[in-house]
Chain A
Amino acid sequence: MAVVSALSQTDWDDLAQRARRRRLLSQSALIAFLVATTLPVLLPYFWMVAISFSAKSGGVASSLLWQAVSVLIPAVIAIALVRTFAATRRTKTWGSLVIVAVAFGLIAVLVGPRLHLENYRFLWVRDIVAELPSRQGTAGVGTQFPSVWSAFGNSLLLALSQTVIVSTVSTFAGYYLSRFSFPGRASFLQSLLVLHAFPAMTLIIPIFLIMFWTGLIDTVFGVLLVIVTLELPFSIFIMKGFFDGVPWDIEMSAMTDGASRRQAFFKVVLPQVRVGLIAIAVFSFIKGWEEYVFVRTLLIEKSNWMMSLYLFWVADDIMGVDYGIVAAVGVFYVMPSLFLYLFFQKYLTQLNIGGVKG
């Protein structure tokens, strides 16, 4: 009886009130944490873009950066708040859009007049070093700077070739490893993982020597071979995981339906691992696009420069560091990876290693 009467005296409104308060508190804490961790990630990119459009003759206008940041930070917080507390999907979308528009407006008003495209002149000037004021008249040995488009082309060639080779080889190898048994299969699988765990940097001198002796040094093809080799073990392993997730039944079904094993593979099995294939392709493209260490070691001739080398020499070699140009080259360098991610985001988020999801 005592328990019953105690229950009947419970103040339900008070309990509900307390629960509401607790929920509000934990949600605010979560938002504060997310904002605090997001900003350090976001800021460098924001600054890079801001500097690339604003820096003049090497100097960075720090007042401009702070003005821009003073708009950005409130905007990020405001979007976080709207996303969390807006009741309907509509208000969420419209609220965020309004904030973004306001932020852009403010930035345009505050810093707009001081923005310029001067730092992007590397896109249309053939040799940016030669026409630097400080280098006028000096005819140094290392001044012949290649065009950014040649580096862009080289990087694209390397990244695309790597994508094609890695996707093709790891698809077939992954399928074979998943479906067929052969002597040494288990140790082969283990060695794939060991190879992946092995730090590639330790191989750099032997690889240099091999390249030197085989005459592949200073060729894009040589670098391609090296990075494809290093990339393959893990890709094969991931593709094997995806093929493991495709039931035997549908393959057998295709064969009783009249397909040959090859037709069954291309028409029925391959479409099931599309997500894995796209992920492998995107990752190997980006890997090739950002490759620096082997490019730096194995390529000497300027006509063979990749984007990463171009960025390095822009930052290091020429001009007592022109932050504006470095930032602009950085923005240019990041673009393809960024577009690729945005375009394939849908598939990449479905990726869970070792299986097909969704």
Chain B
Amino acid sequence: MARIELDNITKAWGDVVAVEPTDLTIDDGEFVAILGPSGCGKSTTLFMLAGIYAPTGGEMKFDGHVVNEVEAKDRNVGIVFQSYALYPHMTVRENILFPLKFKDIPAGRAPEMVEETARLVQVEEFLERRPSQLSGGQQQRVALARALVKSPQLLLLDEPLSNLDATLRLSMRTEIRALQRRTGVTTILVTHDQIEATTMADRIICMSRGRVEQIGAPEDLYRRPNSLFVASFIGAPPINTLSGNATGNAVSLGDSVLALLGEARGVVTVGLRPEHLQFADQGLPGRIDGIEPMGREILYLVKTPLGDLRVLEAGSVPRRSAEQEVRLHFAPEDTLVFDGASEDRLPDVHAALAEETKKRA
């Protein structure tokens, strides 16, 4: 178990900067997710923590000790790769035993540790099989066992669920989280899947283009995103974004205008989450252009004077039909307004329907 600190960590490949100077602190026993699209530097950060890549600059500390130059083999880090990276020529037992070969384990203790860890992830029946004889989910468990058997001070998970089918992903999510709670190991999960990040992690580090965009609890990132990037990346179906010119207390979008609570000038982007838009008797007029049932909810695509909007309504049977004329309503405090140039959120600004739009019934 360890407390991890990154102090101004940078990684560049020649002139290409993969990770810009980054500061991070991860507490002992915490489960943190690094979330971002592919190529955002999240895996590079992970591999720096594992000791596979050497950082170009900055300091990396485990429990206060600088580990920049400590070799991967001496860091006592367990890692689960996206491909699982099991050793194909070894049985499951040999795979799990492998990390123990390089440690000072009291004689005869190693086989017991293998059995214990195998029981923990429920692969004890498969110990004599080869990885190729296992299903994806079982391989995943073996990879977890191999990472956990040496009681690592840090567990790194690199997109561990992306090769599993949807049902299995759901149950592995729960299982990995439970396993982490039981073992108390500090864990960093790298993923591009926001659901994985929000459901499993205590805190999320959202990265984009080598930069940390925001660090916070899942609900913080959802409710109070720092930037347009975080707002668009978190939430499914994605947030509606409308760009227009702000003139103090109003912003013109498409063929219409929204009122601004607070003040903004220049280009701004207004974000409206689909689940915050409601059908109402009065409000923004629109026409339904498409209907996508999603099981528990229905996603409507609505053409409005502001632009095309995604609207989410609870229920499993569509209550509206295509081409139907509707009115939309939203609460101003649910809206997010971003500066057009910096894409940072303007925390004191919200958008509301203009008075004349409201009155039209």
Residues of A within 8 A of B (CB): 247, 249-250, 252-260, 263, 267-268, 271-272, 274
| Alpha-carbon gap, A254 to B87, bound state (A) | 9
- B70-88, CB under 8 A of A: which get 1 and which 0? 0111110111011101111
Minimum C-beta distance from A41 to chain B (A): 36
| Alpha-carbon gap, A249 to B156, bound state (A) | 14
- B34-68, CB under 8 A of A: which get 1 and which 0? 00000000000001001110000000000000000
Given A256-B78, A257-B146, A258-B99: A249 touches B73 (CB 8 Å cut-off)? no
Are A256 and B75 within 8 A (Cβ)? yes
Count chain B residues whose beta carbon lies closer than 8 angstroms to a beta carbon of A: 27
Asked whether any CB of chain A lies closer than 8 Å to the CB of B192, the reply is no
Residues of B within 8 A of A (CB): 47, 50-52, 71-75, 77-79, 81-83, 85-89, 98-99, 101-103, 146, 150
Are A256 and B79 within 8 A (Cβ)? yes
Indicate which residue in A249, A255, A257, A258 contacts B83 across the interface (CB closer than 8 Å).
A249
Among residues of A, the one whose C-beta sits closest to the C-beta of B78 is A256
22 contacts between A and B (CB under 8 A): A249-B82, A249-B83, A250-B87, A250-B88, A252-B52, A252-B79, A252-B81, A252-B85, A253-B81, A254-B87, A255-B51, A255-B72, A256-B72, A256-B77, A256-B78, A258-B73, A258-B74, A258-B99, A259-B98, A260-B71, A271-B89, A274-B89
Among residues of B, the one whose C-beta sits closest to the C-beta of A270 is B89
B residues near A260, Cβ cutoff 8 Å: 71, 73
Indicate which residue in B50, B98, B99, B102 contacts A252 across the interface (CB closer than 8 Å).
B50
Indicate which residue in B85, B89, B102 contacts A259 across the interface (CB closer than 8 Å).
B102
Indicate which residue in A252, A254, A258 contacts B103 across the interface (CB closer than 8 Å).
A258
| Alpha-carbon gap, A255 to B73, bound state (A) | 5
B residues near A249, Cβ cutoff 8 Å: 81-83, 85
| Alpha-carbon gap, A64 to B125, bound state (A) | 63
Minimum C-beta distance from A49 to chain B (A): 40
Are B103 and A250 within 8 A (Cβ)? no
Are B52 and A256 within 8 A (Cβ)? yes
| Alpha-carbon gap, A272 to B334, bound state (A) | 56
| Alpha-carbon gap, A267 to B78, bound state (A) | 18
| Alpha-carbon gap, A260 to B101, bound state (A) | 12
Minimum C-beta distance from B136 to chain A (A): 15
Which are the 8 A-B pairs with shortest beta-carbon distances? A258-B102, A249-B85, A257-B99, A253-B85, A271-B89, A255-B72, A250-B85, A249-B81
Indicate which residue in B72, B87, B150 contacts A268 across the interface (CB closer than 8 Å).
B87
Minimum C-beta distance from A241 to chain B (A): 18
Among residues of A, the one whose C-beta sits closest to the C-beta of B77 is A256
Are B52 and A255 within 8 A (Cβ)? yes
| Alpha-carbon gap, A274 to B87, bound state (A) | 14
Are B73 and A252 within 8 A (Cβ)? no
Minimum C-beta distance from B84 to chain A (A): 8
| Alpha-carbon gap, A267 to B77, bound state (A) | 19
Among residues of A, the one whose C-beta sits closest to the C-beta of B52 is A252
| Alpha-carbon gap, A268 to B87, bound state (A) | 7
Among residues of A, the one whose C-beta sits closest to the C-beta of B81 is A249
| Alpha-carbon gap, A274 to B83, bound state (A) | 21
A residues near B50, Cβ cutoff 8 Å: 252, 256
Minimum C-beta distance from A272 to chain B (A): 7
Among residues of A, the one whose C-beta sits closest to the C-beta of B84 is A249
Minimum C-beta distance from A346 to chain B (A): 16
| Alpha-carbon gap, A253 to B89, bound state (A) | 14
B residues near A267, Cβ cutoff 8 Å: 98
| Alpha-carbon gap, A260 to B331, bound state (A) | 59
Are B83 and A259 within 8 A (Cβ)? no
| Alpha-carbon gap, A231 to B75, bound state (A) | 42
| Alpha-carbon gap, A274 to B85, bound state (A) | 18
Indicate which residue in A252, A259, A274 contacts B47 across the interface (CB closer than 8 Å).
A252
Are A256 and B88 within 8 A (Cβ)? no
B residues near A252, Cβ cutoff 8 Å: 47, 50, 52, 72, 79, 81, 85
Are A254 and B98 within 8 A (Cβ)? yes
Among residues of A, the one whose C-beta sits closest to the C-beta of B72 is A255
B residues near A272, Cβ cutoff 8 Å: 88-89
A residues near B85, Cβ cutoff 8 Å: 247, 249-250, 252-253
| Alpha-carbon gap, A247 to B131, bound state (A) | 15
Beyond known contacts A252-B52, A258-B99, A259-B98: 13 more, CB 8 A cutoff: A249-B82, A249-B83, A250-B87, A254-B98, A255-B52, A256-B51, A256-B77, A257-B73, A257-B146, A258-B103, A258-B150, A263-B102, A272-B89
Minimum C-beta distance from A333 to chain B (A): 36
A residues near B77, Cβ cutoff 8 Å: 256
Minimum C-beta distance from B9 to chain A (A): 18
Minimum C-beta distance from B355 to chain A (A): 60
| Alpha-carbon gap, A268 to B101, bound state (A) | 13
A residues near B78, Cβ cutoff 8 Å: 256
Among residues of B, the one whose C-beta sits closest to the C-beta of A257 is B99
| Alpha-carbon gap, A268 to B99, bound state (A) | 12
B residues near A247, Cβ cutoff 8 Å: 83, 85
| Alpha-carbon gap, A253 to B158, bound state (A) | 12
Indicate which residue in B82, B88, B102 contacts A257 across the interface (CB closer than 8 Å).
B102
B residues near A271, Cβ cutoff 8 Å: 87, 89
Among residues of A, the one whose C-beta sits closest to the C-beta of B101 is A258
Minimum C-beta distance from A281 to chain B (A): 18
Are A257 and B98 within 8 A (Cβ)? yes
B residues near A258, Cβ cutoff 8 Å: 73-74, 99, 101-103, 150
Pick the most buried of A252, A256, A267, A271: most chain B CB atoms within 10 A of its CB. Answer: A256
Minimum C-beta distance from A128 to chain B (A): 50
Pick the most buried of B51, B52, B87, B103: most chain A CB atoms within 10 A of its CB. Answer: B87
